[in-house]
Amino acid sequence: MRRAIYPGSFDPVTEGHLDIIRRSCRIFDEIVIALLVNPNKKPMFTIDERIALLQSATAQTDNSKCQVRVATFQGLLVHFAREQRACAVVRGLRAVADYEYELQMAQMNRRLAPEVETVFLMAGAGESYISSRLVKEVFQLGGDISGLVPPVVERAMHAKKL
């Protein structure tokens, strides 16, 4: 049983995240999408809203080979990974800009929990420019975000704006 943690803010979940989740499913038996509860950030969606959007967006990903589950965590990621008995943390790499931060985090996490490996998946060619931040910015300025986020997220964003 190989369980991996996929941590992030997911504010909101994008097609880039879903691509990483689908591909992680080919490697692991269970993916725990771990929503970081960060009281310092002012998100567009509440934790409960993000959980519901993730659950609904990943409902089709579930199959007999891989379970996808959504959880929240606070504090150190490695503590959560240990608590969940995960063997790996999955991260997506988009541009070179992601690299430095991710290298530092992976090395620090390895020092704290050597048994938990960080696994990087390169962003898909069609998704590498998608970030939650940019999607929100484009949306707030009236741009079309269809195809960048799952339809359930697009609807939720329109509902927020009303």
The reply on whether position 50 binds ligand ADP by CB under 6 A is no
Distance of closest approach, residue 8 Cβ to ligand ADP, in angstroms? 3
Cα distances from 158 to residues 6, 14, 88, 146, in angstroms, run: 27, 15, 35, 11
Binding segment for ligand ADP (CB under 6 A), chosen from 52-60, 65-73, 121-129, 134-142, is 121-129
**Residue number, 54 or 64, with CB nearest to ligand ADP:** 54
Pairing of strands 88-93, 3-8: parallel
Q: At what angle do helices 151-161 and 47-57 cross, to 10 degrees?
A: 150
Question: Which tokens sit at 146?
Answer: 């269809």
Task: State residue 77 phi and psi, 5-degree precision.
Answer: -60, -40
Which of 4, 18, 20, 32 is in the footprint of ligand ADP by CB under 6 A? 20
The half-sphere exposure of 153 on its side-chain side, counting CA atoms within 13 A, is: 28
Nearer to ligand ADP, 3 or 43 (CB): 43
Among the candidate windows 22-30, 59-67, 76-84, 88-96, which touches ligand ADP by CB under 6 A? 88-96
Nearer to ligand ADP, 1 or 113 (CB): 113
Return the SS3 of 152.
helix
Stretch that binds ligand ADP, among 46-54, 79-87, 126-134, 137-145 (CB under 6 A): 126-134
Q: Is 146 a catalytic residue?
A: no
Among 30, 62, 98, 117, binds ligand ADP (CB under 6 A): 98
CA 75 vs. chain centroid, Å, equals: 17
Taking Cα atoms as reference points, which of 50, 55, 63, 70 lies closest to residue 9?
A: 50
Nearer to ligand ADP, 66 or 132 (CB): 132
Residue showing tokens 């996929």: 6
Query: Under rule CB under 6 A, which residues in 100-119 are in contact with ligand ADP?
Result: none
Active site (catalytic) residues: 17, 41, 94, 132
